[in-house]
Chain A
Amino acid sequence: MSTSSATQDRQLVEDARSFAFTTKLEAIAAWGRKNSLWPMPYGTACCGIEMMSVMGPRYDLARFGAEVVRFSPRQADLMIVAGTITEKMAPVILRIYQQMLEPKFVLSMGACASSGGFYRAYHVLQGVDKVIPVDVYVPGCPPTPEAVLDGVMAIQKMIQDGTARPWKDNWQAGVYL
């Protein structure tokens, strides 16, 4: 009797493999999340034009599941800061960032957004990370679309691996770093 029950159990597991698999809840959520990033394009300058190319026909960000561009921060989970952020823009981008729902990520595209770039100037914020926490910096002036795709993939990996993000956890609004 017991022998036949064990056989049945084994059979059940074998059969189940054909239509189901097991995983952890976080892992499956991360898998879904990383393949359906909804970008909020914060294009302010030249990088914004190059970001259009990233979305455009040749580079096609849709291949990475991130084509649903949302201009409402409440519907987006990946902010792509593409272009120079000026001092005048700083309070605006802070508010937009705060309106995004968790979990949220920030990709800083290009030299200006990452560090002020070659604008060491009186009205340019020396990097958007002075006001909001940045997850991935993409270098370039502007970066090639391939580099931006690489940055998006880095964020996908971050989501998949559940990488710790102390820069975000320790971030406080309104504090210039």
Chain B
Amino acid sequence: MSLDITESLRSNFQSKFPGNNFNYTYAFGNSVVRVEPNEVVPLLRHLKDSGQFDFLMNISGVDYPDRKKRFEVNYELFSSRNAQRLRIKTQIAEGETIPTATSVWRGANWFEREIYDMFGVKFEGHLNMRRLLVHQQFEGFPLRKDYPADRQQHCTEALPIHFDVNPERPFSLDEEKDLVPLNIGPSHPATHGTLRVMALLDGEKVHRAGVELGYLHRCFEKMAETHPYNQVIPYTDRLNYCSAPMNNVGYCKAVETLLGVDIPPKAKAIRIILCELSRIIDHIVCIGANAVDLGALTGFFHLFTYREKVYTLFEKLCGARLTVSLTRVGGMANNPPENWYKDVLEFCDEMSVGVDELDTLLTGNKIWMQRTQDVGAISAERAIEWGYTGPLLRAAGVPLDLRKTDPYYGYDQLDFDIPTGTTGDVFDRYLVRVAEMRESIKIIRQVAKNIPEGDYTIRDKGIVLPEKKDVYGNIEGLMNHFMLVIKGLRPPAGEIYDATEAANGELGFYLVSDNSGNPYRLKVRPPCFAIYQSFAEQVEGGLVADVISILGSMNLIAGELDR
């Protein structure tokens, strides 16, 4: 939660934009400035150039069909210096356009395309105003309130190979007519899941590259709008399914902040343990799959043994292995079983051996080094420009981690380090992930040894369902249960952007509530979405074999990428 900075901004903007009509508000820990559409880009440029905000984290659209200007576009800014956040908000009517922010932040690219795809809002000056997630034969704009959630439209043709317009590398027919187009995916062993990469090859060299996404666009945001708050939790599992509990925690934290409730210390401790276990198993999949793609199968099989051990820990908590839905708004679903913390500590001992073995297996391995060093290197400035967060940004040398810069759940009380790299190449990304696994083990050990006493959830009748023994045992419990199920959990009307540090980077939830039982709008800021935008730039000029290595290092999880 960041401070109210609207007053200081007001005086700052008064001198820079004299006679402006900006509207300042501060609610739920978010500072908001409301401006006209044509003022957005100058304002963003000023905020970036003056060094007040260095990250454009998210752009989200909202549809209010009853308003005269029905669409709202929100820009979420973040400063890594002081963890301050700011939302720039603007409204436009149907048919109006809004200038693109891609000239200020390259990372605005796909976020704007997504808004066009979902709402039909056009961004003037954007070079690739094409559909991003839904298929090319789709008609209409699905996130508009008047589009029914279950109206499917069939796609009969796969999209042919194509490349985006890139002003830095204009298309030249003379140069490109002899090149070989190559399509990789969406069903290819190296694209884990549903990614599709297209390349124009000059021998072994990638001359031009493009990506197509949306092959796993399963309408998370529309589903969230049609389900009660607690029923959205299972959908969040399936965002980044490699580390499902982290998404549960991120979503519940956003709803809890909007509700203004503070969860009990015990729930916080359990959530930290779950998040760090998830971080470990997420890195296991990323490193394991990356190594498999480069021919090292042993690491994958070996690491999966440890992943199975974590599944066992999750199973003990809730019965499910992968998609666990462990949290509830207000805390956890239940107490861990007896000896669970002991099992967690035992796992930590086994895992630290496992990390050491992984280290022995890969870190000094000549083939691994040759395939990963100096591949996909990126400078810190460029990474920030694209909106990198998480291990990839830290590999480029920026020590940004929300657990340190904007601590939540008492991470500031724990002793751990933020590992960073220097060059940002695939090898550094790997090293950062390995080091983070060690840090996570350290965190889990500290927390699991000192679990606070008390309840695992708050007991507010309007938020949390009563325990089953009360529902079946007394009339009050039965009534509370009935009321909450029928009426639903209703946060106050308002909006919030809340972020946690997921395994891949900043996982943000922009949530709008209209005081009804369902979220009015829920926009996810998936960490790998921003990272993947830079893919073409990362691979162009390199070898086609490096495409695979870079793709693996980005840890692209189609569930959260396409949502």
**A window 109-151: CB within 8 A of B:** 112, 118-126, 141-142, 144
Judged by DSSP, the binding face of B is loop
Q: How far is the CA of A138 from the CA of B158 in the complex (A)?
A: 28
Give residues of chain B (231-245) contacting chain A, Cβ–Cβ below 8 Å.
234-235, 237-238, 241-242
CB distance from A41 to the nearest CB of B (A): 9
* B155 and A122 within 8 A (CB): no
In order of increasing CB-CB distance, the 4 nearest A-B pairs are A121-B219, A46-B241, A88-B135, A71-B189
Provide the A85-124 mask, 1 if CB < 8 A to any CB of B, else 0. 0111111110110000000000000001000001111111
Determine which residue in A84, A88, A124 has the highest number of CB atoms from chain B within 10 A of its CB, and name it. Answer: A88
A13 to B188, CA, bound (A): 53
Interface residue from B138, B187, B235, B558 paired with A92 (Cβ < 8 Å):
B187
With CB as the reference atom, state the residue of chain A lying closest to B212.
Answer: A88
A119 touches B215 (CB 8 A): no
Please tell me which one of the listed residues A44, A49, A89, A96 contacts residue B322 in the complex, with CB atoms under 8 A apart: A49
CA A90 to CA B154, docked complex, whole Å = 8
Tell me, in angstroms, the Cα distance from A167 to B219 when the chains sit together. Answer: 30
**CB–CB B238/A45 < 8 A:** yes
Which residue of the partner chain A has the closest CB to B312?
Answer: A58
| Residues in B whose Cβ lies below 8 Å from that of A125 | 152
Partner of B223, one of A48, A86, A96, A119: A119
Report the nearest A residue to B213, measured CB to CB: A88
| Residue of A whose beta carbon sits closest to that of B188 | A71
Minimum CB–CB distance for B154 against chain A, Å:
6
Interface check B452, CB cutoff 8 A: no
Task: Indicate whether B153 reaches chain A with its CB closer than 8 angstroms.
Answer: yes
CB nearest to A73 among chain B residues: B187
Kindly state the interface size class of chain B when it binds its partner: 35 or more
Task: Determine the residue in chain B with the shortest Cβ distance to A96.
Answer: B187
8 other A-B residue contacts (CB within 8 Å) besides A42-B187, A50-B321: A48-B193, A84-B216, A87-B138, A87-B152, A92-B186, A122-B134, A122-B150, A123-B152
Q: Is the CB of A49 within 8 A of B218?
A: no
Asked whether, in the complex, the Cβ of B215 is within 8 Å of the Cβ of A92, the reply is yes
Chain A's closest residue to B151 (CB) is: A122
Range for the number of chain A residues in contact with chain B: 35 or more
Is there contact, CB below 8 Å, between B223 and A121? yes
Show the binding face of A for B, using Cβ within 8 Å. 42-46, 48-50, 52-53, 56-58, 71, 83-84, 86-93, 95-96, 112, 118-126, 141-142, 144, 174, 176
Q: Which residues of A contact B153 (CB under 8 A)?
A: 87, 122
Q: Are A123 and B154 in contact (CB under 8 A)?
A: no
What residues on A are CB-neighbors of B412 within 8 Å?
A: none
Chain B residues in contact with chain A, CB under 8 A?
133-135, 138, 142, 147-158, 186-189, 192-194, 214-219, 222-223, 234-235, 237-238, 241-242, 285, 301-302, 304-305, 307-308, 311, 321-323, 558-559
Which single residue of chain B is at the shortest CB-CB distance from A71?
B189
Query: Which of A58, A92, A122 counts the most chain B CB atoms within 10 A?
Result: A122
Choose from A52, A90, A122, A126 the contact partner of B149 (Cβ within 8 Å).
Answer: A122
Do B142 and A141 have beta carbons less than 8 Å apart?
no
CA distance A84 to B188 in the complex (A): 16
Q: Tell me whether A142 and B304 are in contact (CB under 8 A).
A: no
Q: How far apart are the CA atoms of A56 and B322 in the complex, in Å?
A: 15
Q: Is the beta-carbon distance between A87 and B135 smaller than 8 angstroms?
A: yes
> Would you list 28 pairs from A and B whose C-beta atoms are within 8 A, ordered by A residue?
A44-B194, A45-B194, A45-B558, A45-B559, A46-B238, A49-B242, A52-B285, A53-B304, A56-B304, A56-B308, A57-B301, A57-B305, A83-B193, A87-B138, A88-B215, A88-B217, A89-B186, A120-B150, A121-B222, A121-B223, A122-B151, A122-B222, A123-B135, A123-B142, A124-B152, A124-B218, A126-B152, A144-B321
Q: Are A174 and B134 in contact (CB under 8 A)?
A: no
Question: Which of B135, B215, B242, B311 has most A Cβ within 10 Å?
Answer: B215
Given A44-B194, A89-B194, A124-B152: A83 in contact with B216 (beta carbons within 8 A): yes
Indicate which residue in B147, B154, B155, B322 contacts A46 across the interface (CB closer than 8 Å): B322
Closest partner residue, chain B, to A142 (CB atom): B322
B135 touches A121 (CB 8 A): no
Pairwise interchain contact A121-B150, C-beta atoms closer than 8 A = yes
Residues B193 and A43 in contact, CB atoms below 8 Å apart: yes
